Amino acid sequence: MNHPLIMGVINCTPDSFYDGGRHRHPDEAVRRGLELVSEGALILDVGGESTRPGALPVTREEELERVLPVMQRLSAALEQSHPEVVLSVDTTKAEVAAMALAAGAAVVNDISACRFDPGLLDVLRQYQPGYVLMHALGTPATMQSNPYYENVLDEVRRFFEQRMNVLVQSGLSEDAIILDPGIGFGKLLEHNLRLLRNIDDLLQLGRPLLVGISNKSFWKGLLGLELEERGSVTQVATALLTVKGVRVHRVHDVLETQRTLRVFQELSGGGSC
């Protein structure tokens, strides 16, 4: 199997559920990014708009002000020290994606599947980046308002098939697409668990899987855990999802995840990561 990859999260926002704005200043965000690389991240995901449940959108100008200096400085620093590390921009906006890609990003991580800003399709065709296609219901402001599915696994799979078709017809190579089931994005606890139990079914679509379960609120729904108590269950689930074939893990605690995946590789006979 392919070695699993760690995507480290850099939140350049004042209202992240996890780090509450600790990396809003570009210098702090760049320092954090280099720290994540030293801990084992091979992808850095830089975002300037919170997507936690209930979050309100920010303007294009504000998002650019948060993201672009970080992307520029990180790209320059990594080119010198870690050219193997890939930069990702977490955005739904075409202009933010275009400017981040011009500044050194190689992946667009988009929770909207190009539905919030159709102009993003043109950016993808022009730059041909890696593209994380995520499933979500509604917007962050509304997505947890009584989400309903007849069969969440079937509906997520149909969504991926339909949006992949749109992306390919718009000119993006299918080989560039990574699928993210969007754990916690318009899903109740039972929906999240159904997807995670059967996530290997999505591999039948022929694309790699990315999952973000790091410290999310569904752990409180399942086990009553507060934010600071969710680290160990995140690591257990990460190992189990790797067994099921998940290739990319989007996480906050890179060092612990690197250790988890190293143990997985050693005990599964794959050698060191």
Catalytic residue set: 216, 250
**C-alpha distances out from residue 225 to 133, 218, 233, 262, Å:** 29, 9, 10, 26
Report yes or no: 51 and 104 within 8 Å, Cβ to Cβ: no
Q: How far is CA 8 from CA 26, 36, 197, 251, in A?
A: 16, 6, 24, 5
Nearest to 124 by CA among 171, 85, 72: 171
Region of 72 on the Ramachandran plot (φ > 0 left; ψ -120 to 50 alpha; else beta): alpha
Task: Measure the CA–CA gap between 88 and 11, rounded to whole angstroms.
Answer: 12
| 163 touches 133 (CB < 8 A) | yes
Distances (CA, A) of 43 to 10, 74, 122, 141, 219: 11, 12, 24, 27, 25
The DSSP-derived string for 212-232 is --TT-THHHHHH---GGG-HH
Instruction: List Cβ neighbours of 248 (8 Å cut-off, separation of 6 or more).
Output: 4, 5, 6, 7, 43, 178, 208, 209, 210, 211
